[in-house]
Amino acid sequence: MMMAALTATGGGVIRDILVVEIPAILRSDFYATAAICGGGSFVGVQYFGFSKDVGLVCCILVTCGLRFMAIRYGISLPKIESLPLSPSKLTRQRRESKD
């Protein structure tokens, strides 16, 4: 499951960086969650004694199905509210307040 999530997010980040865009994982996309669910379905199918081929097909169907539903219905994960300052400025303020 972790490999599914890392592969999905890493590939997406590399794709977005190569086309000079802000990575979708940082904006509002749902593909890491879909990958985790797909990886979980693969593990679950194997737990119940089915072959790896059946697990692979199930994983593909679950992952693609979730992604297509997210795109079609505009499903995304909750967004984090904006910070009052950038993370680097917040870190500088914390360091200065300790001194």
Mean pLDDT per 10-residue run, the chain (99 residues)? 81 85 74 87 94 94 93 81 75 81
Tokens 């086309």 -> residue: 19
Q: Where are the domains of the chain?
A: 2-98
Identify whether the C-beta of residue 30 lies closer than 8 Å to the C-beta of residue 9: no
Count of other CB atoms within 10 angstroms of residue 36:
18
pLDDT at 75: 84
Q: How far is CA 69 from its chain centroid? A: 15
Rounded Cα–Cα distance for residues 32 and 40 (Å): 12
Q: Record the pTM.
A: 0.67
pLDDT at 45: 95
